[in-house]
Amino acid sequence: ITLLTGANATLTAQTIRSNSHLFENCAYCLLQTEIAIEAVEEAVLIAKENNVRTILKPAAVSLSLIHISEPTR
């Protein structure tokens, strides 16, 4: 759980692309939406390029404020 953004705020799509070699021998990529959505999207693309399965953990929200939650495909 992120209380202070810290390093999350500095993670960019370019940072992900520059470190794409780290995906080469992975089976899974676990992502969360507490980083920039562009970084999430880049990681998903690189994971797909490397046949890595992706797991997305959406950022925590107060579910009492949500009426309907529908994942996008």
Q: Which residues, given as ranges, of the chain have pLDDT below 50? A: 1
C-beta separation of 34 from 8 below 8 A: yes
What is the per-residue pLDDT for 65?
65
Exposure class string for 1-12: b at 16+ Cβ within 10 A, else e: eeeeeeeeeebe
**What is the predicted pLDDT for the residue at 33?**
85
CB 40 within 8 A of CB 31: yes
pLDDT at 64: 63
Residue 26's pLDDT is 94
User: What three-state secondary structure class fits 54?
Assistant: strand
Contact of 31 with 55, CB cutoff 8 Å? yes
Confidence (pLDDT) at 1? 47
